[in-house]
Amino acid sequence: MARKLTGFDVVLDAARTLPDVDVATTWGASALKVRGKMLACQAIHKSAEPNSIVVKIPIDQREELIAAEPDIYYLTEHYVNYPSVLVRLSRIHRDALRDLLAMAYRFADAKPKKRSR
């Protein structure tokens, strides 16, 4: 019988199909990175709820997620200025987590826009 995944193991499992993703640490917490850029990590700041992760996504998409499902996605003052969203792992469906990590992957892997002169 397969064991039930809990905590960050759920995140690792959801990200297993994303290419070039490495398991690393950020600020002493488990993290996922693609070519050195963070996708997600355990939310260790004291303002975050237990069993939450931080996922890097564009701020405009963060606002949409929080508005649509505030029981899953949230933000604390500490994270306001970062392109990221906090996620309650106990509430998010595995498919939604997989989609969110794919969104973070595209965001992290995007080429910087060239500035016009």
Domain boundaries, the chain: 8-109
Mean pLDDT, rounded, of the chain: 89
DSSP one-letter string for 51-88: TEEEEE--HHHHHHHHHH-TTTEE--GGGTTSSEEEEE
pLDDT (tens digit per residue) in 13-35: 999 999 999 999 888 889 999 99
Choosing among 3.40.50.1100, 3.90.1150.10, 3.30.70.3190, 3.90.1150.30, the CATH entry for 8-109 is: 3.90.1150.30
Q: What is the pLDDT of residue 1?
A: 47
By mean pLDDT, which of 5-9, 42-46, 49-53, 68-72 is the weakest?
5-9
The pTM of this model reads 0.88
Task: For residues 75 and 18, give the distance between their C-alpha atoms in angstroms, rounded to a whole number.
Answer: 25
C-alpha to C-alpha distance for 44 and 42, rounded to whole angstroms: 6
